[in-house]
Structure formats: structure tokens, C-alpha cells
Copies of this chain bind each other. A is one copy, B any other.
């Protein structure tokens, strides 16, 4: 059995137009990797929205980062300050991985 290591999963759900801005911030703050998925529809404070192939920037994306707790917490703070005035969800949760050095 390989050993498992506790890390943090940071998920940032944000409108498509802001994805590059968030990724730039993650890069500057030292994130070693991320995975982006598209959300297709949703509802929040600003009402209901639906992804649209003509204007994908109006859709939402989920940016996933797995990192050590202190790094994930720092990234989350930086993204929170960056997105203060925008509709975004920033979620932190526990996760276990095999390769300690990869995160």
C-alpha cells in the first residue's frame, strides 16, 4: 500500500471572462498546476445564466488546484481579494493524494 498525503482542494468557480485573470494570479502565487472544467448553467445572486457557444466568456468555469494546505490557503486569499466584486465561489476542502512531492 502506498502512503496517502493530506492536501487541500481549492476550487474557484468564476465567469469565463475572468479565467485568465485568475490563472495569472495562480501563476504569480506559485501554483504548480490546475485543471479547468466548464460549467453549463447555474443560478446565483445575479440570476440564472446558461453557457452559450457564441459567447463562452459569459459561461462559468471551475478551476481546480490541489496543493499543500498553506499554499492552497494563500492562493484562496489572493483569489478572494482579486474577485471581491465579482460573483465567484471559492471552495476549500480536504483531499488525499499519493505523491507528496507533486503538490
Interface residues of A (CB under 8 A from B): 1-2, 4, 9, 13, 23, 32-45, 60-62, 66, 73, 76-77, 80, 89-98, 102
Distance, CA A92 to CA B96, complexed state (A): 5
Known: A2-B77, A91-B9. A44 touches B33 (CB 8 A): yes
Q: Do A36 and B44 touch (CB < 8 A)?
A: no
| Identical chains in the assembly | 3
Known: A2-B80, A89-B66, A91-B97. A61 touches B33 (CB 8 A): no
Q: Do B35 and A42 touch (CB < 8 A)?
A: yes
10 tightest A-B CB contacts, nearest first? A33-B44, A35-B42, A92-B96, A36-B41, A93-B95, A91-B95, A35-B39, A37-B39, A38-B40, A80-B98
